Amino acid sequence: MNDRAASVSIDLDNQWAYMKTQGCAGWEEFPSYLEKVAPRILETLRLCGLRATFFMVGKDAALEKNRAPLRAIADAGHEIANHSFLHEPWLHLYDDAELRRDFDQAEESIAAATGARPQGFRGPGFSTSPAVRALLRERGYVYDASILPTFIGGLARAYFFMTSKLPAEEKKRRSRLYGRFSDGFTPLRPYAIEPGLIEVPVTTLPLLRTPIHLSYLLFLGQYAMPLAHAYWHSAVAACRAAGVGPSLLLHPTDFLDADDVPAMRFFPAMRLPSARKIALVRLTLESLRAHWSTGTLLRHAQSLAGENTACLQKVQAC
């Protein structure tokens, strides 16, 4: 294992959020699988000896039925971060008043449910804007994690639109889902995106910039699990060669199958048994621990300051 930092984060998107984004009826009742999936995620992290960052949706934290699983995550010592209040991937379209209201509600609800004030943020569907980043700086956030450095966001978006039930107007609102083509040119390592604000991008494959987070691995795994394993090991080798400490992204759907959540059969890889999915999650987490100093996104972001300090000390020593 080398000393370069790596991180693990979980976007704690709930069942209703997927249904809402997909255009499925019934999301307004806010169906939840958190009580079922949170123990699976926590047990997997415990077995791997890891602390991770959980990006929580404020609306879930505001609902009493979700308080116990969310509190259990905080009590286990994991970092709590902000994933917006309503999980709308058109956050970049919000005006100033809408943004401030969303952050107010999310921060208040998350703090009430977990006892923790978020220091990090990730926009739903990788939605971000200069206004979002300015607000993060104003509110004292340490880092943002809303960039997916890939060129194929448009392909993922096209696949999503093809399988969704959304009218044209709703698709237009989601026109920046999974980011922009230009995101593929952004750095893979953490960097200062604004003065006082660190960006910790979700890691993609060096050079090719194709995604390596679990949703994509499981998309391959539903056709051939050895292919998913080979792709992941190639990603590990490429990141090591490039000197990149990965920021690995997980979702609750990486721990669930269609028997657990019948209403989400539409989501890729939900026909894979949950046990096989969790086995792949453990493989990736154990790989990270074997090669990098792996922890939370806050720690990953703070490592940038540490690297800069070390570089400055070397220069001064010369």
- Give the tens place of pLDDT for each residue, 150-180: 886 555 555 555 666 666 665 556 556 566 7
Q: What is the pLDDT of residue 309?
A: 36
- The more confidently predicted of residues 278 and 3 is 278
CA angle, 156 then 282 then 113, to 5°: 75
Average pLDDT, the chain: 89
**Helices (H), strands (E): how many in the chain?**
12, 9
Q: Over range 14-26, report the average pLDDT.
A: 90
Q: What is the pLDDT of residue 138?
A: 97
User: For the ranges 28-32, 141-145, 269-273, 310-314, which has the lowest average pLDDT?
Assistant: 310-314
Structure tokens of 269? 């890889």
Q: What is the pLDDT of residue 179?
A: 60
Q: Over range 195-212, report the average pLDDT.
A: 95
Cα separation, 285 vs 47, in Å, equals 10
Evaluate whether 150 touches 185 at the Cβ level (below 8 Å): no
Q: What is the pLDDT of residue 316?
A: 30
In this model, does residue 113 exceed pLDDT 50? yes
Residues for the chain: how many in total? 318
Q: What is the pLDDT of residue 312?
A: 27
| pTM given for the model | 0.90
Three-state secondary-structure class, residue 271: coil
User: For the ranges 42-46, 189-193, 239-243, 309-313, which has the lowest average pLDDT?
Assistant: 309-313
Domains and CATH numbers, the chain: 5-317 (3.20.20.370)
